Amino acid sequence: MSFSLLRPIAAALTFLCLLPAQADETVRIKVEMPPAAASALREEMLMKLQAIYQVEAALAAGKPADAVEFVERHLGMGAMGQHATLPLEARPGRYLPETMHAIGRQSHRHGSELSAALKADDRPRIDAALRDVTATCIACHSSYRLH
């Protein structure tokens, strides 16, 4: 993705984070996909949440590097294409609206920055990357839903 497209997305993310939580059914766009794809997406989400926990646990233990691999695999670029071997109707990516997909890609980029920051044991960089990853969770969740 080009930088010209990234800038408005970054602006939108910042804007969304400043809004009070507004995640009711009238605001969020319903994304249609077959049950198999929805199930794959939900599984992916649970791993994302677990990855956030891994970061917090590693930081609390004073061992940021412990979370590097898990974060890259489930939040970073390493998570992209993880459904490529599934049947077509089980691949959530192909059912996402373009803006939602772009938020997802942005999330993976921030995830890889987070894993690099953890590896470098650079606390301010870790904090910033964790903030940026979480901003993409919020941005997507407050704009899209499956139910």
Q: Which is nearer to ligand HEC, 48 or 83 (CB)?
A: 48
Nearest distance, CB of residue 87 and ligand HEC, angstroms: 20
What is the rounded distance in angstroms from the CA atom of residue 125 to the CA atom of residue 43? 28
Q: Which is nearer to ligand HEC, 54 or 107 (CB)?
A: 107
* Residues composing the chain: 147
Q: Which is nearer to ligand HEC, 23 or 88 (CB)?
A: 23
Nearest distance, CB of residue 123 and ligand HEC, angstroms: 20
* Other Cβ atoms closer than 10 A to 62: 8
Nearest distance, CB of residue 139 and ligand HEC, angstroms: 7
What is the rounded distance in angstroms from the CA atom of residue 44 to the CA atom of residue 93? 12
Q: Which is nearer to ligand HEC, 119 or 142 (CB)?
A: 142
Residue 121: left if φ>0, alpha if ψ -120 to 50, beta else—which one? left
**Cα dist from 44 to 12, 48, 92, 104, 121, whole Å:** 24, 6, 10, 12, 26
Nearest distance, CB of residue 102 and ligand HEC, angstroms: 8
Q: Which residues bind ligand HEC (CB under 6 A)?
A: 42, 45-46, 48-49, 52, 75, 100, 103-104, 107, 133, 136-137, 140-141, 144-147
